[in-house]
A and B are shown apart, each in its own frame.
Chain A
């Protein structure tokens, strides 16, 4: 009934025997429920932690490279457009708020849930537009991915984050479609929580990326 998360990998040598049956009955009788509830399902958390490790390495790489050549990094940092970065952070935080409220609306059966998720999607869209304007401005100033290591990292790390955001927006679009259904099952709520958790990941990665790249001075 509840799906074994390990897919039956660990086989029971006593299965099918009388002793096995006795063990099973005793275990069922004494088993306690797991403390706490996993939002979504365990799989999305495996994905989130993996991505957090990858981005953790990215953060460490960037700061380490900054300390290797602080002068060049600071000079290049000065040419960035901080306003865009800050507004983007605020946008994603609003998006996260909308996700939480949207999930609440779905759980309480409100018919407006899909509108809230759509608002979240719009904050993502605004972020993407901002990003392209910002890239255009930086390239217009004459800085490219190959100019120096700072710009190389700037472009490729923010692009990696942008890709994550685009995927999150696709996820949000799916949630909007699910939220529009008149009746929600447990599976629908699970998908909303899964894509919601992924949106929060995209948000929190940017919350760290913005200060590291745009704000940190040496």
Chain B
């Protein structure tokens, strides 16, 4: 094993250890937040709340949830930054386009 392969291995093992700890309480908290956000969106979409606000809120909430899933469930926090930024770029770009279409054409 070359020296750098050993470094990579050591770093990977440290990251996995961090993720094991993170998969305990922190992930449970994130999961609860996601479940609650779903219920709130359901409430807003079921006819409560001003239409325009509800629609935009529902889209934005959805993608915030996606970002949380990516960061905490898919272990992107400990992934190479390029991977994480590519994912987050999608999480920002798509709702911007959707809200743009919705607001500009309504």
Contact = CB atoms under 8 A, between A and B. Distances in A.
Do A and B have CB atoms closer than 8 angstroms in the complex? yes
Interface of A: 1-2, 28-29, 31-39, 45, 49, 52-53, 56, 59-60, 63-64, 67, 70, 82, 86, 89-90, 93-94, 96-97, 99-101, 103-104, 107-108, 193, 197, 200, 203-204, 207-208, 210-212, 214-218
Contact of B69 (A200, A212, A214): A200
Contacts of A108: 20
A60 B97 contact: yes
A-side interface mostly = helix
Contacts of A67: 101-102, 105-106
Nearest to B27: A100
Contacts of B106: 67, 70, 218
Contacts of B87: 49
B4 to A, nearest CB: 5
A208 B62 contact: yes
Nearest to A27: B4
B98 to A, nearest CB: 5
Closest 9 CB pairs of A and B: A215-B45, A36-B80, A104-B23, A33-B8, A67-B105, A33-B7, A37-B15, A211-B58, A39-B75
B102 A63 contact: yes
